[in-house]
Amino acid sequence: MYFDTHTHLDDDKFNEDREAVIAKVRESGVELAVNVGSGIKESESCIALAEKYDFIYAAVGVHPGNTGNMTDADLELVKQMASHEKVVAIGEIGLDYYYDEPERDVQKYWFRKQLELAKELQMPYIIHDRDAHADTLDIIREVGYTKGVMHCYSGSVEMAKVLIKMGFYISIAGQVTFKNAPKLQEVAKFVPVEHLLIETDSPYLTPVPFRGKRNDSSNVAYTCAKIAELKGMDEKELANITLINGKKFYGLE
């Protein structure tokens, strides 16, 4: 049984067939999924989905790309939503320097604010870090609260070592199945299983053999199988370990 620890089944790409997709996901052996918020409206949708489906939980927060117009009132809304019984984490929050917008200072400001909120509530948090490794680590250290997961990990083995030492989980998505991903495959081999989570980040990052098509949480199995192969482990055993890790991280034991 699998735990898709990071998915976006509320995405518009599922508007035509969401119920059928979620039924398929459940039947495919996904025991739990955390549907992650990327903005205020999206976080509300995450909660609605979690209320409708037993096996889906929610994370609430504002993605760095959506912090351009964020306000104190929005932060208060995140805090209120976080008290919902099916909300298990703050996220996704972080820094994304791939795009020029919003300005880096704005992203950093709201990342720090949301991280401080996670600390205040003593909730786990989900980091989105794209091309911003150094600043992400600096802010985590400044806030001094490390109950986090680095989602869709794209850093080096060296950075993974630092994060693991801090107590972080490293979450690996479908890119690990790509032919041109030697760096991520090295990371997958290196990360000790007790610090590993698996995710789809669907509808994005579709693993081989469906690369190029819309992704959904049922494909978590392909990512798990690839990581198990890289680690020389049994696929079912890895699925079970990462399921237990996910439950522990999100407080679902």
Shortest distance (Å) from residue 236 CB to Ni ion = 26
Shortest distance (Å) from residue 161 CB to Ni ion = 24
Name the nearest CA neighbour of 123 among 94, 82, 74: 82
CA 63, 69, 72, 74 torsion: positive or negative?
Answer: negative
Interface segment toward Ni ion; rule CB under 5 A; list 10-18, 77-85, 199-207, 238-246: 199-207
Tokens representing 132 are: 């911003």
Shortest distance (Å) from residue 237 CB to Ni ion = 27
Q: What b/e string do you get for 28-62 counting C-beta neighbours within 10 Å, with b at 16 or more?
A: eebebbbbbbbbbebbbbbbebbeebeebbbbbbb
Q: Does 10 bind Ni ion (CB under 5 A)?
A: no
Q: Does 201 bind Ni ion (CB under 5 A)?
A: yes
Nearer to Ni ion, 10 or 201 (CB): 201
Shortest distance (Å) from residue 6 CB to Ni ion = 6
Whole-angstrom CA distances from 172 to 61, 178, 207, 243, 246 are 20, 12, 11, 13, 12
Interface segment toward Ni ion; rule CB under 5 A; list 41-49, 177-185, 201-209, 224-232: 201-209
Q: Using CA atoms, how far apart are residues 145 and 244, in angstroms rounded to an integer? A: 22
Number of residues engaging Ni ion in binding (CB under 5 A): 1
Residues 48-87 that bind Ni ion (CB under 5 A): none
Residue ranges in contact with Ni ion by CB under 5 A? 201
